[in-house]
Amino acid sequence: MRHQISDLYQMQSLSLESKIIMTQHRIRGWYDYYGGDVYVSFSGGKDSTVLLDIVRNTPGVYDVPAVFADTGLEFPEIREFVRTFDDVTIVRPKMNFRQVIQKYGYPVVSKEVSRRVQYARKAITEGREQNHGDYQKLCGLALDKNGDKSQYNCEKWKFLLDAPFRCSSECCTIMKKNPMKQYEKETGRMPIVATMACESRLRKEHWLIHGCNAFDAKRPRSQPMSFWTEQDVLEYIYTRKIPYASVYGDIFIGEDGKYHTTGTQRTGCMFCMFGCHLEKEPNRFQKLAETHPKIYDYCIGGGAEVDGVWQPDNKGLGLGKVLDYIGVNYEKPPDTEDSGGG
């Protein structure tokens, strides 16, 4: 049964204690449905750290392994943190990030935009762009069922059709989803993930259709924290004093009454450009320059044109040119120059 957006808002307004109880109920339902053949998708980030703690403290739920996709894109502190846990299986992709970019393209703006640009460009090369849905949306021409302008139009990013580099959303599939799918195929276990509806429109729409336990989805998965917010996650860690990756720094309550971290705000793939255009400075790349300057240099530097297409080379990933093209500042603050480390 499809949920209403009002259902989500009501659940998001609940107390943390109520959310924990509801989350455990959904975990137990998923666990029982699959006879215990489930696993936690564990990235080492704060969200999945909370999820793993809840799963392993849910009554009636036993011996649930965690699975970590070692993509090579994680912060070093994340990988060190993951190694402190028991019963964690490590899976790896068949391609590295540089190979993925060289073959498919860079992840820019969002999965949705990158995918539209990727497929619209293909349609253009095949001479069928005029009736192609992704091309129509990038041109702002798509209409909804009522004949009004579609909410999925993204003409702001039409200029990416002429970018000197390829755009693609394939990295998430190749680097993370495929290794997890292979694990599921080999073990028969079904995933429990820490995604939240507040993180993106796509995740919100998925919850509205499937709810927390997506038994009927194309790829069934449990998302028992879908109605949580980042504040809930930080409150859980802060009040329960559970261990978390050092890359976040300290968690504290600010003058605004909200929870904050002194370190990085996000710990996804270090080189991912999804959403970076929305960040206030210092953004993720400027912070990377401060905390991991050698990794920053490899990320921003390098790159070369191959057959007219900008892509990584042996010197680096070449993200600097991509960020310049989409208008995101990545310059090191003056006091980080030649600071060493890595």
Q: Each residue of 296-320: pLDDT tens digit?
A: 999 999 999 999 999 999 999 999 9
Q: Residue 339: is its pLDDT beyond 70?
A: no
Whole-model pTM? 0.87
Task: Please report where in the chains the tokens 């392994």 appear, as a residue.
Answer: 65
Tell how far CA 151 is from the center of its chain: 22
Report the percent of the chain where pLDDT is more than 90: 89
Q: Which band of pLDDT confidence, cut at 50, 70 and 90, is reported for residue 1?
A: low
Backbone phi, psi, residue 122, to 5°: -65, -40
Q: Which band of pLDDT confidence, cut at 50, 70 and 90, is reported for residue 336?
A: very low
Residue 31 and residue 312: Cα distance in Å, rounded?
43
Instruction: Fill in the DSSP letter of residue 156.
Output: G
What confidence tens digit (pLDDT) does each residue in 142-195 have?
999 999 999 999 999 999 999 999 999 999 999 999 999 999 999 999 999 999
Closest CA to 117 of 156, 73, 149: 156
DSSP track, 39-93:
EEE--SSHHHHHHHHHHTTSTT-----EEEE--S-S-HHHHHHHTTSSSEEEE--
Q: Which band of pLDDT confidence, cut at 50, 70 and 90, is reported for residue 332?
A: confident
Q: What angle do CA 148, 152, 155 make, to 5 degrees?
A: 95
Question: Quick one: which H or E segment has residue 274?
Answer: strand 273-274
- Reduced to 3 states (helix: H, G, I; strand: E, B; else coil), residue 316 is strand
Q: What angle do CA 82, 266, 100 make, to 5 degrees?
A: 80
Closest CA to 336 of 278, 281, 276, 296: 296
- Reduced to 3 states (helix: H, G, I; strand: E, B; else coil), residue 239 is helix
Q: What are 218's two structure tokens? A: 């194309």
The mean per-residue pLDDT over the stretch 331-341 comes to 58
Q: Residue 265: is its pLDDT beyond 90?
A: no
- Reduced to 3 states (helix: H, G, I; strand: E, B; else coil), residue 108 is strand
Backbone phi, psi, residue 279, to 5°: -85, 145
The mean per-residue pLDDT over the stretch 84-105 comes to 96
Q: What are 29's two structure tokens? A: 């339902």
What confidence tens digit (pLDDT) does each residue in 192-235 have?
999 999 988 888 998 999 999 999 999 999 999 999 999 999 99
Q: What is the mean pLDDT of the chain?
A: 93
Domains in the chain (CATH in brackets) are: 5-95+170-248 (3.40.50.620), 108-162 (no CATH), 273-336 (no CATH)
Backbone phi, psi, residue 155, to 5°: -65, -20
Q: What angle do CA 52, 53, 59 make, to 5 degrees?
A: 100
CA distances from 8 to 199, 218, 238 (A): 13, 22, 24
What confidence tens digit (pLDDT) does each residue in 37-74 have?
999 999 999 999 999 999 999 999 999 999 999 999 99
- Helices (H) and strands (E) counted in the chain, each on its own, are 14, 12
Contact 262, 247 (CB under 8 A): no
Residue 318 and residue 313: Cα distance in Å, rounded?
8
- Residue 155 identity (one-letter amino acid): E
Q: Which band of pLDDT confidence, cut at 50, 70 and 90, is reported for residue 335?
A: low
- Residue 91 identity (one-letter amino acid): V
Instruction: Fill in the DSSP letter of residue 285.
Output: H
Residue 107 and residue 317: Cα distance in Å, rounded?
12
